[in-house]
Amino acid sequence: MPTIRDVAREANCSPATVSRALSGSSVVNEATRARIEEVAKRLDYRPNAVARSLRRSGFQNRMVGLIIPSVEEHNYSVGTSLLHDAMAQAGYHLVLCCHHNDPAADEAAVQSLLDRGVDAIIHVPSTREVAASRTRLTRQLPVVELQRHSEVPGVDAVVTDVVLGAYELTRYLIGRGHDRIAMIAGFDLHSQSSARVEGFLRAINEAHLDPAKCPQFMHEYDATWGREATGMLLDAPGERPTAIVSGSIQISLGVLAELQARGIRVPDEISMVGLSEAEWCAVASPSLTTYEFPLKEMGLMAAQMLLNRLHPSLNDLNPRVVRFGGRIIERESAGKIN
């Protein structure tokens, strides 16, 4: 049977727009609506009315959707496994979708889960704008945001306190005598990106360091960008920083790879710390000093908040945002400046 994504592809629009047009929403202009209706008729597309009617009647399919960027990222793989077990213990099936930080894929994942009739969604939003456009979700079913917070009204959230994490890592380096520190992070597509820089700059300003000697590089949260940004940092004119704060575990891999490729010794020639932890950090050479968040506790909290929302007697609870701090794991990658 044709799906809503098939209609969206043929009509050259998003699945969310198809859903709005076929449900009679006034936000879709008439030309777009006519084109979508023509494609839907030609493909013989029929919305999943069964799932919608079951949701409206209060019936539960015992399914919970989980939308994350990728299962390959440590922060999300840990939570996915734990959430699967927690939902199964409560009698729910977990339906997993990945959007790879693509807003269109994020929209399609939400619509797919709605068509399947899930009872609730745990969501790592791709961007603040995409999440903010989905206020309709909170009227249809419970939503809990995990690790990223869009500040959409009525949505619970369980997030890492990356402001605190970046601040404490930077203060740690300052305490070891560093006064030329760079940060490599990702795009400001969601609240957690700018929060990393906020924590970094707070520590820099408190220590009265020269901001010109403490640059920030922002692009992608992957190893390729980690290598590229490190190369830019090392090739820039003037004194290079004595330490680097990496904004993610993927960026940390790229930073280490570029330093190794150039024969630069860590921490003898340049120090490094990373925001978030992975198993390889302890066995790397040198081992990497990191800031570890309690991912398992966060997953359990998200599961409990969602189950509370699914319980009819608890649906009047005010939305909550729970922030989890972490701890520095001190290893070998951050040296002292005499």
CB 154 within 8 A of CB 121: no
pTM listed for this prediction = 0.78
Cα–Cα separations (whole angstroms), residue 11 to 7, 39, 45, 61? 6, 6, 12, 31
Q: Which pLDDT value is given to residue 132?
A: 61
Cα–Cα separations (whole angstroms), residue 309 to 53, 226, 239, 303, 319? 20, 39, 54, 10, 10
Q: Which pLDDT value is given to residue 108?
A: 86
Which domains occur in the chain, in start order? 1-47 (1.10.260.40), 48-160+297-324 (3.40.50.2300), 162-293 (3.40.50.2300)
DSSP state, 257? H
> Which tens digits make up the pLDDT trace of 271-308?
999 999 998 999 999 999 999 999 989 999 999 999 88
Q: Could you tell me the two tokens for 4?
A: 């809503």
Q: Could you tell me the two tokens for 183?
A: 């940060």
Enumerate residue ranges in the chain where pLDDT < 70.
1, 23-26, 46-60, 129-140, 188-193, 312-317
> Which tens digits make up the pLDDT trace of 71-125?
888 788 888 888 999 999 889 999 999 998 888 888 888 888 887 888 899 999 8
Residue 101: exposure state from Cβ atoms within 10 A (0-12, 13-18, ≥19): buried
Q: Which pLDDT value is given to residue 168?
A: 98
